[in-house]
Amino acid sequence: MNKIIPVLALAFLLLPMVALAQDRCHLVADLTYIDPACTSGADVSVDDYGACCLFNSIHVVTNWVSGIVGAFVGLFIIVGAFMIVTAGGVPEKVTRGRNYIFYAVAGMIVFLFARAIPSAAKAIMGM
């Protein structure tokens, strides 16, 4: 866990450079609040619409991360429920299953907050 946090921090620091390292970007999100030309499905120039490409990259990354986290949450809830059902009255197994479900719910909360990152970035940038 101690090694994951610096890697994620570095990834988020490098995200703007990766987003702006290309000539054009294909927008998957509707970013008309930045500029009316930044509509979903448009190909825009990074030189003219760099903010659109940056926020588009943030949308893409949060969609991928939230999908992966959502899959893990579902998997851990199923595993935790299976552990509780098959515990056979052993308190340690029941506790382990409850912990799996508890941490899966905590992961679901992280999943929901990950979906709010683009809106938070928009508010921080004042757009």
Yes or no: say if 55 and 72 are a contact pair by the CB < 8 Å rule. no
Yes or no: say if 87 and 53 are a contact pair by the CB < 8 Å rule. no
**pLDDT value at 79 more than 90:** yes
**pLDDT value at 78 more than 90:** yes
Q: What is the pLDDT of residues 22-46, one digit of tens each?
A: 666 777 777 777 777 777 776 766 6
Q: Tell me phi and psi for residue 92, to 5 degrees.
A: -65, -40
Measure Cα distances from 121 to 2, 15, 23, 99, 116 in Å: 25, 13, 23, 33, 9
The mean-pLDDT minimum among 43-57, 72-86, 108-122 falls in: 43-57
Q: What is the pLDDT of residues 103-113, one digit of tens each?
A: 999 888 877 87
